[in-house]
Amino acid sequence: MLLRIPQVLTLEQVDQCRALLRQANWQDGKATAGPQAARVKNNHQVPADSPEAQQMAALIIQALQNNPLFMSAALPSKILPPKFSCYQNGQAYGAHVDNTVMRIESGEALRADVSATLFLTQPEEYQGGELIIHDSFGEQQIKLAAGDLLIYPSGSLHQVAPVTSGVRLVAFFWIQSLVRSAEQRRTLYELDGLAQQLRGELTAEHAGLTKLSGIYQNLLRQWMDS
């Protein structure tokens, strides 16, 4: 499921992140890519252990945990600390699929079920730089407003088009979900959305709403990783 989640960060929080990015040191993005991805990756990233990266990551994770739409769609078990990248002067990231296993600084291995890109620059601030995702509906080219988040299955083939002018700043990260199947996550997300809609139309004691909630919980119990 490819989903846009608007205003995960406020514009004030975006400005806070951009101020920290101006202070940060940058390194070649190939340093954090696997052997195959490094062949097609051309960008710069903030070192994950830098104070700026850690401060921004904490801000973003807090915002995610307070966002009901993200929690419903991703069903996060663990959120890997966000990383931060910059594209300019023709930089791009060729077609690739994200690694299945991601490791955090402690060495713990996490499964990447959901990939996420949080936009930190407005679309009009740069030319090119579209996030291109190849899915069952064809090729999706995406540029979102600053503060908006895009999530999509980590098994998707995707790329970043060359940035021909301006600067593209994003945070990107992965989620290990309680439910590893993208199809099952979509079903649960749609059920949860229907329940939210009906709560605005029916009384809390309505039998249909109670039954729907029970179906959701039992499917989640059946599908979630033990």
**49 assigned to a ligand binding site:** no
What confidence score (pLDDT) does residue 135 get?
A: 84
What confidence score (pLDDT) does residue 183 get?
A: 96
Enter the pTM of the model: 0.94
Nearest C-alpha neighbor of 86 from the set 169, 142, 173, 172: 169
Domain topology for 182-223: DNA Excision Repair, Uvrb; Chain A (4.10.860)
**18 assigned to a ligand binding site:** no
Give domain limits for the chain.
3-177, 182-223
Nearest-angstrom CA–CA distance, 165 and 87: 10
What confidence score (pLDDT) does residue 205 get?
A: 67
Tens-of-pLDDT digits for all 226 residues of the chain? 999 999 999 999 999 999 999 999 999 998 777 777 788 999 999 999 999 999 999 999 999 999 999 999 999 999 999 999 999 999 999 999 999 999 887 788 999 999 999 999 999 999 999 999 998 778 999 999 999 999 999 999 999 999 999 999 999 999 999 999 999 999 999 999 999 888 777 666 677 788 999 999 999 999 998 5
What confidence score (pLDDT) does residue 202 get?
A: 67
What confidence score (pLDDT) does residue 24 get?
A: 96
What confidence score (pLDDT) does residue 108 get?
A: 85
**Phi, psi of 143, rounded to the nearest 5 degrees:** -135, 120
Superfamily of domain 3-177, CATH level 4? q2cbj1_9rhob like domain (2.60.120.620)
